[in-house]
Amino acid sequence: MPRKSSLAKHMLDIPALLLVMGWHAAAATHPKQPNILFIVADDLGWSDLKCYGADLHETPNLDRLAAKSLRFVNSYAAAPVSSPTRASLMTGKFPARLHFTIWSEAASSAERKNQEIYPYLPPQTLENLPLEEITLAEQLKKGGYLTAHVGKWHLGDLMHFPQTQGFDVSVAASQRGAPPTYFFPYKGEAFGEYRFVTDLGTSSDGKYFADRKGEYLTDRLTDEAMKIMADAGDRPFFLNLWYYNVHTPLEAKQQDIDHFKSRLSPAYHHQHEVYAAMVKAVDDNVGRLLQKLADLGIADHTLVIFLSDNGGYINEYKGRAVTDNYPLRSGKGALYEGGIRVPTLLYDPDWVKKGVTVETPICTIDFYPTLLERTGLPSDTPVDGKSLVHLIKGEKDTLLENRTLYWHYPHYYPTTTPVSALREGPWKLLEFLEDGRTELYDLNDDPGEQHDLSKTRPELTTRLLAKLHKWKKDIGSQGITVNPNYKKP
Ligand SMILES: [Ca+2]
């Protein structure tokens, strides 16, 4: 009797066993936590995408993504230049708190060597993201994610590469902010130094891929990213895909350049056919990634985030203006809106069912807490950002609506002198650090920041300036100092 009873018990267990096996099979296709495809374009300006008002540029794939995503129209980079914004993405902190306020190379020396041309000296800032910082990648890896970085890094030297900051896999990272060329083998002279993108020049046996002649960097990064997605297996992945496009040097495929050259019009804001072709390269490759997610059967289980690290570059490259951030003022380097407001799309298959325009101001410091809350993982470190999960779920978030955002850029750039800024509701205050001059704008009425209200609204200006000063003090920000070697031109 005991034997029969035992057999009966086992027979009873069979459906349960199948159920368990079935669950495992389902788990293999759909891990419990969603995959995260985090795409950052470099220097892509506010109006560079069609879905943000571009005229010359063509971005059908990103427009299709926007049509089913949250499209943020008050989304800010935490800094007007590359490395600090990237540091904010990895740490959830204000760059000024990290003392990482200018791009890596400039922090090391270049800017401070211009000691005679500027009346003030910028502070000595970090050139490497400290290893002690607990990055988003480290948190997601600890939570079971396969963490992969592909593309531009710009958060430090080889001793501070993605592998040291929580990434299981890293492909094509670089210490520098731009490749010497966008064509294989991605190395050569640039800005008076020898630059290269790691990992892409040779095959695993150390030989050159002779057949890769003509290969374009952004296509290759996408190939590498798609391999990682396909090989991720049961583990949810965090794929941090930071394209080098559309940063200078301006280089693109000839047929795309020809296409946009034939479409140039004096009526357009955008006037650069090579830049337009570089934007197209980003769009083409986002299209390939979305198709790959569909082909792998994981499109309904993958969050897709797309944004830029700072405003568009409005200065000249080889004698021609690169882009225009209309209707916003200025561009990369500045704390006017054109330097920090960036196109941002967020698709969440579980919560976002149609395209929605989101007016609530957000910042790159917010993605760290957002992704941890969204994946149900704890945070081991305090952050400055706030979770966007309420917005993702279509709920109102008064905390975010009432929040004040801050910037501090104690450096020079062709578009600016050292400057700090805040945004509170519709109000935007800028404080120029050389002489303490302030400017105040109402972004609801004046998104192009053309009408300075600091003189007509002195009480408001004083209150906001005090708030900005308190923030700078509270986070331990670094200031500028008088330059004893300054020679007035
Ligand atoms: Ca950049």
Q: What is the pLDDT of residues 346-380, one digit of tens each?
A: 999 999 999 999 999 999 999 999 999 999 999 99
pLDDT exceeds 80 at position 112: no
pLDDT exceeds 80 at position 114: no
| Alpha-helix residue ranges (DSSP H) falling in 301-421 | 337-340, 367-374, 389-392, 398-401
Ligand 1 centroid distance, CA of 174 (Å): 13
Strand order across the beta sheet in which 302-308 lies = 169-171, 146-151, 237-242, 35-41, 302-308, 344-347, 70-72, 356-358
pLDDT given at position 209? 59
pLDDT exceeds 50 at position 18: no
Same-domain status, 137 and 50: yes
Ligand 1 centroid distance, CA of 147 (Å): 23
pLDDT given at position 107? 85
Ligand 1 centroid distance, CA of 78 (Å): 12
Mean pLDDT of 110-116: 63
More confident residue, 229 or 11: 229
Per-residue pLDDT band for 457 (boundaries 50, 70, 90) equals very high
Ligand 1 centroid distance, CA of 100 (Å): 14
Per-residue pLDDT band for 111 (boundaries 50, 70, 90) equals low
Same-domain status, 115 and 11: no
What 3-state class would DSSP assign to 208?
strand
Domain boundary residue, one of 356, 379, 395? 395
Same-domain status, 17 and 158: no
**Residue 268 forms part of a structural domain:** yes
Per-residue pLDDT band for 26 (boundaries 50, 70, 90) equals very low
What 3-state class would DSSP assign to 391?
helix
Q: What distance in Å separates the CA atoms of residue 407 and residue 209, rounded to the nearest whole number?
A: 44
Same-domain status, 18 and 146: no
**Residue 410 forms part of a structural domain:** no
**Residue 25 forms part of a structural domain:** yes
Ligand 1 centroid distance, CA of 77 (Å): 10
Ligand 1 centroid distance, CA of 179 (Å): 12
Ligand 1 centroid distance, CA of 43 (Å): 4
pLDDT given at position 392? 98
**Residue 254 forms part of a structural domain:** yes
Structural domain harbouring 115: 34-395
Same-domain status, 260 and 354: yes
- Helices first, then strands: H and E counts in the chain: 15, 20
What tokens appear for 315 in the block? 């200065």
Q: What distance in Å separates the CA atoms of residue 280 and residue 296, rounded to the nearest whole number?
A: 24
Domain boundary residue, one of 361, 395, 429? 395
**Residue 458 forms part of a structural domain:** no
Angle formed at CA 237 by CA 236 and CA 242, multiple of 5 degrees:
165
pLDDT, tens digit, for every residue of 371-405? 999 999 999 999 999 999 999 999 999 999 999 99
Ligand 1 centroid distance, CA of 42 (Å): 4
pLDDT exceeds 50 at position 238: yes
Same-domain status, 335 and 260: yes
pLDDT exceeds 80 at position 268: yes
pLDDT exceeds 50 at position 11: no
pLDDT given at position 208? 62
Domain boundary residue, one of 376, 395, 414? 395
- CB atoms closer than 10 angstroms to residue 158: 10
pLDDT exceeds 80 at position 27: no
Ligand 1 centroid distance, CA of 282 (Å): 14
Ligand 1 centroid distance, CA of 89 (Å): 13
Per-residue pLDDT band for 204 (boundaries 50, 70, 90) equals low
Same-domain status, 55 and 3: no
Ligand 1 centroid distance, CA of 353 (Å): 31
Percentage of the chain exceeding pLDDT 70: 90
Same-domain status, 55 and 124: yes
What tokens appear for 436 in the block? 């303490």
What tokens appear for 184 in the block? 């294989």
Per-residue pLDDT band for 488 (boundaries 50, 70, 90) equals confident
Q: What distance in Å separates the CA atoms of residue 314 and residue 268, rounded to the nearest whole number?
A: 15
Mean pLDDT of 84-107: 96
Total count of domains within the chain: 2
pLDDT given at position 21? 41
**Residue 151 forms part of a structural domain:** yes
**Residue 475 forms part of a structural domain:** no
Ligand 1 centroid distance, CA of 462 (Å): 32
Mean pLDDT of the chain: 92
Same-domain status, 352 and 319: yes
CATH number at residue 363: 3.40.720.10
Instruction: Name the region of 197 (left: φ>0; alpha: ψ -120 to 50; beta: rest).
Output: beta
Ligand 1 centroid distance, CA of 80 (Å): 8
Ligand 1 centroid distance, CA of 188 (Å): 20
Per-residue pLDDT band for 202 (boundaries 50, 70, 90) equals low
pLDDT, tens digit, for every residue of 432-448? 999 999 999 999 999 99
Same-domain status, 179 and 148: yes
pLDDT given at position 350? 97
Percentage of the chain exceeding pLDDT 90: 82
Ligand 1 centroid distance, CA of 315 (Å): 13
| Alpha-helix residue ranges (DSSP H) falling in 350-487 | 367-374, 389-392, 398-401, 458-474
φ, ψ (nearest 5 deg) of residue 119: -70, -20
**Residue 295 forms part of a structural domain:** yes
Q: Is 312 exposed, middle or buried (0-12, 13-18, 19+ CB in 10 A)?
A: buried
Closest CA to 82 of 175, 13, 202, 208: 175
pLDDT exceeds 90 at position 241: yes
pLDDT, tens digit, for every residue of 131-187? 999 999 999 999 999 999 999 999 999 999 999 999 999 999 999 999 999 999 898
Dihedral angle, C-alpha 100, 103, 107, 111, nearest 10 °: -130
pLDDT exceeds 60 at position 467: yes
Same-domain status, 272 and 168: yes
pLDDT given at position 291? 98
Residue 82: CB partners within 8 Å, gap ≥ 6? 42, 43, 103, 152, 154, 177, 247, 309, 310
pLDDT given at position 190? 86
Percent helix, strand and coil across the chain, each to the nearest 5 = 35, 20, 45
pLDDT given at position 354? 96
Same-domain status, 6 and 56: no
Ligand 1 centroid distance, CA of 10 (Å): 62
Ligand 1 centroid distance, CA of 246 (Å): 9
